[in-house]
Structure 1
Amino acid sequence: MEKIKILLADDNSFIREGMKIILSTYNEFEVVMTVNDGKEALDYCLSHDVDIALLDVRMPNMNGVEATKYISEQSKTRPLILTTFDDDEYILDAIKNGAKGYLLKNTDPERIRDAIKGVHNGHTVMQDVVLDKLKSNLKTKEEEDPKIDTSLFTARELDIMALIAKGLSNKTISKQLYISEGTTANYITSILGKTGLEHRTQIAIYYIKGTVGETE
């Protein structure tokens, strides 16, 4: 089995090397490089074959959120945030910039292992505590009128976007709207196609903030 190639970016050498030791104990991983900041991470991903970039948020020269954006846009590497910071602003910006996951450093190593494998397989992984913060952030704003161009979407698509923004699952949305899960999935696919977004968490942010990427 070909190993998953991982880059570690953290300006704390103790944490960086410690994480390298932990990940290296798993046979399916190969830590190909450790770097001190986001700029070094980006440069390496542009010139080498890297599957997953584990990025801290606060780093010199280029932080993890900025690095996520450029790595997502300019390479095939999938960025995964691993940090001590669970500030709403970091979470939202990292996801908008293309992060495939957001985990805290105090996460159990097995959970980090599963997250890396999940992201490598094309999934988006959000730790429960991070997802709860994100949902809470969105719920505080759910009474606001959406800022999006509603003319782009059908009434049913807007209904589904509103429910996604409230943190509801496809199954719950389907029951609430009396449609099948397959139909709900088809609507979400249509929404993603119209917005150029990649997953449902980005739909929630887009619905609340009316933004895609850097657009305000």
Structure 2
Amino acid sequence: MTRNRMMLLFDVDGTLTPSRKTISDDMYQFMTQVKETVTCGLVGGSDLKKIAEQIGGMDALFKFQYVFAENGLVAYESGNLINKECIQSHMGEEKLQKFINFSLRYMSDITLPVKRGTFIEFRNGLINVCPVGRSCSQEERDQFGEYDKEHRIREKFIQALEAEFPDSGLAFSIGGQISFDVFPKGWDKTYCLRFVEKDFDTIHFFGDKTDKGGNDYEIYNDHRTIGHKVTSPDDTKAQLKELLGL
């Protein structure tokens, strides 16, 4: 199959790497082999720096032909910036502050096993809201992840935001262990498809958060992609071997 007929597009966290950890040497070498035969791209909700940290640095990151940080709001092709959007400009300061003030009040009333710092983080294309605080340790991250599974902290938080801002035009997406993303509707991971949909006959997407509310849900179910639900980097590798006959 020629390179321009098929593209492989990958979520990063939980798909190519363990959650918020670096890609393994074995997985990196395997992906190097895959990239020799098929055009590959990455799409993540995190900013470029965080994605690069997980893939092994900027040089390793830009060995992927397409890199879509922040769902594609910051987009690169062959290492060159091709698109950049800004949520602050899109929302406006008044609307933005109402959202932030409500979120901070809501989080002040939550009792968790621990709370740390950086509860709201701005990225170009989205706002990341983290009830436990992004400065938590890996152990505290894992602890919150388990606590959230039982008590649905993030899910309830999103329900409160949807009730408070019903006509905001905002969408909410849970990804990773500790936070959720907030962005204008349509600025989910399907945003990145506009840069590649005309160049490939088929686009295979691999992601782990494909259930409704997860940050892979929209692109996994989009008519322009063939979705592959994975449970871990090892599962991604197994499905790729089957798909590509490796």
Q: TM-score range by the shorter chain?
A: 0.3 to 0.5
Q: Which has the higher strand share?
A: 2
Structure with bigger RCO (C-alpha 8 Å, 6+ apart): 2
Q: Which has the higher helix share?
A: 1
Normalization by structure 2: what TM-score? 0.29
Normalization by structure 1: what TM-score? 0.32
